[in-house]
């Protein structure tokens, strides 16, 4: 009888030990989140994104509102597809929607461009390749914005947030310029003395790899154009997807009609 009692006591202890709640994993630190995000971004060869950018510019007695919806698919520098739907409320600064597909050096653009010579065609290829590269260059955002503001950002397991007026936000502003139809206007490509007045960003992260799923930001900038003051308010929301799973499908002309 005693042996049976001892057996049941041991069995109870074993079951109780097995059923004991496991210790919860400690949340990642800021540095660990940033390091994991940076590592997985560097390992990215292909990516798709969708973005909406709204830019309001006050300059020379005019306030102009530029909007742009962007869809981008990128799989190495030689294969990409870019769709831009652009609009401006000021006839003085017209913009246009465009599609630019590239596959191993073969380009397809809508509206169909009329090139004067090979150099003009090559300039277009270089420009749109540069824009595409900038759009997917999240390493620069991590390195020059997130890491440099590590003491000022707020993090959870799924978000990175910031609010302030750090001049490091200029990197984020430059990132947004490639998504803004303001970049189609030569006047607004001559900004000097750019100063961040205020800004914020919010990055939603994937659970394990800490890759950005969504990044939204708003920035207010003061600058000059030929010594005349200019104020720029920019907001953008970007959705990232298909990291290393993007199979580029070329856009068609009717997608910007």
Average pLDDT of adjacent 10-residue blocks, the chain of 257 residues:
54 56 77 96 96 98 97 88 97 95 88 79 84 93 96 96 98 98 95 98 97 99 96 99 95 92
pLDDT at 254: 94
Query: Distance between CA atoms of 169 and 219, rounded to whole angstroms?
Result: 8
Query: Distance between CA atoms of 236 and 219, rounded to whole angstroms?
Result: 9
Q: What is the mean pLDDT of the chain?
A: 91
28-255 CATH: 2.50.20
pLDDT at 203: 98
- Strands of the sheet containing 192-205, edge to edge, are 106-110, 98-103, 79-88, 62-75, 46-59, 228-241, 212-225, 192-205, 159-164, 154-155
Q: Name the pTM for this structure.
A: 0.88
pLDDT at 124: 80
Instruction: Name the β-bridge partners of 102.
Output: 80, 107
pLDDT at 184: 94
pLDDT at 104: 84
Burial of residue 239 (number of CB atoms within 10 Å: 0-12, 13-18, 19+): middle
């Amino acid at each position: 009888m005693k042996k049976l009692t001892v057996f049941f006591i041991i069995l109870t202890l074993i079951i109780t030990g097995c059923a004991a709640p496991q210790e919860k994993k400690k949340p990642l630190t800021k540095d660990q989140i940033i390091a994991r995000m940076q590592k997985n971004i560097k390992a990215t060869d292909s990516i798709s994104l969708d973005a909406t950018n709204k830019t309001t510019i006050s300059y020379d007695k005019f306030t102009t509102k530029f909007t742009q919806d962007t869809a981008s698919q990128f799989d190495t520098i030689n294969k990409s597809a870019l769709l831009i739907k652009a609009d401006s409320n000021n006839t003085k600064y017209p913009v246009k929607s465009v599609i630019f597909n590239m596959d191993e050096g073969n380009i397809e653009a809508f509206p169909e461009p009329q090139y004067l010579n090979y150099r003009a065609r090559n300039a277009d290829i270089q420009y749109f390749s540069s824009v595409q590269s900038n759009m997917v260059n999240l390493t620069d955002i991590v390195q020059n914005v997130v890491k440099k503001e590590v003491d000022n950002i707020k993090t959870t397991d799924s978000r990175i947030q910031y609010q302030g007026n750090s001049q490091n936000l200029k990197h984020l502003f430059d990132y947004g310029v490639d998504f803004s139809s303001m970049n189609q206007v030569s006047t607004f490509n001559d900004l000097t003395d750019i100063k961040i007045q205020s800004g914020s960003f919010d990055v939603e992260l994937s659970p394990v790899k800490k890759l950005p799923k969504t990044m939204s930001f708003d920035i207010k900038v003061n600058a000059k154009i030929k010594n005349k003051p200019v104020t720029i308010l920019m907001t953008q929301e970007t959705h990232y997807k298909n990291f290393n799973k993007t199979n580029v499908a070329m856009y068609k002309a009717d997608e910007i009609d």
